[in-house]
Amino acid sequence: MWKRLEIAGLTLPNNVLLAPLAGYTNQPFRAMCARLGAGLTFTEMVSCKGLRYGNENTKELLLSGEETPKAAQIFGNDPEIMRAACESEALAPFDLIDVNMGCPMPKIVNNGEGSALLENFPLAERVISSCVKSGKRISVKFRVGVRRGDRIAAEFARLCEGAGACMVTVHGRVREAIYAGEPDYAEIARAKEAVSIPLIANGGVFSRADAERAMRETGADGVMVARAALADPRVFCEILGTPPPPLETLFFTQLSRTEELYGERFATVFMRKTAAFYTKGAEGAAEWKRTFFSVRTTSELREVAERFFAERARAAEEEGRV
């Protein structure tokens, strides 16, 4: 089930991928997930217009490091601007470029981008084919539909393949569901039957059992992990059956690398929300979360995190004695 995956001549070490996550999949996080076993990691979605006009914040999203292979995700709706982005120096380090046609957020949809392209097949096709002309490997991530009851995944997957995409990722929810409810694995399965290129199933994968179910019910070539990696990036170890390192070690390594790349202010804000994910299920979780969000420096964050992980270890030891 978990095996190497070939995508247009690119060999992935396995078929368990890290999704692009806006606000989270910066370089240190991607590198950590790659070390934990993710077969491919994606940047946060990057605006092609931002790249065209030299937006510095946009460029920061594309910092890359030792993780390999690597992928970037872009969004937009102008075929020529999208192609220029794919040909840009900023995207040169990436082995694959993913085109976002699934984002459900109103600020993206109202601009005719993301999942808005599911309602404009001709434009979606032009965007994909224009990106393919850049010579880069192009994949597409999209949702099974826009509204409940939609059944467009197979048709849209065929469109992507026909336009030259070398892989598609299908999120099993419609746009109006955002992230709520069960993913429609039957619809992903119909999309899989419609194409010959690799298809990745996305949505509802929070554990090894979930990943196995997604593979079994969709016939997909792999799975993509999203929010589960924020709650505990060792989910890749769980799915792949490899020994997980201590979460504490991962946190402090990620904090140091984030501060090194982006500075103290960013590292404090970013890593305190990361720490907040780890408080879920812990004794006194609400208070720990408030404490983490109250820190103002990385030194304060390290001190609180040391106390939190020590308390977690103590609670685990006590539970083991019962």
41 pLDDT more than 80: yes
Total number of domains constituting the chain:
2
Residue 236 and residue 265 in one domain: no
Q: Is the pLDDT of residue 322 over 50?
A: no
Residue (of 41, 39, 42) closest to 4 by Cα position? 39
Contact 250, 233 (CB under 8 A): yes
Question: Which pTM does this prediction carry?
Answer: 0.94
Residues 116 and 255 in one domain: no
Domain boundary among 223, 240, 257: 240
Q: For 208-244, how does the pLDDT look when each residue is reduced to its tens digit (9 = 90+)?
A: 999 999 999 999 999 999 999 999 999 999 999 999 9
| Residues 203, 104 share a domain | yes
CA atoms 203, 208, 212, 217: torsion sign: negative
To the query of whether residue 166 is one of the catalytic residues in this protein, the response is no
DSSP string, 234-271: THHHHHHT-PPPPHHHHHHHHHHHHHHHH-HHHHHHHH
Domain that holds residue 225: 5-240
CATH of residue 33's domain is: 3.20.20.70
- Which one of 33, 48, 103, 160 is the catalytic residue? 103
Task: Pick the last residue of a domain from 240, 256, 280.
Answer: 240
Examine the fold and report which residue of 219, 240, 261 is the final residue of a domain before the chain moves on: 240
* Shared domain check, 179 and 112: yes
In this predicted structure, what is the pLDDT of residue 144?
96
Please state the rounded mean pLDDT for residues 240-253: 97
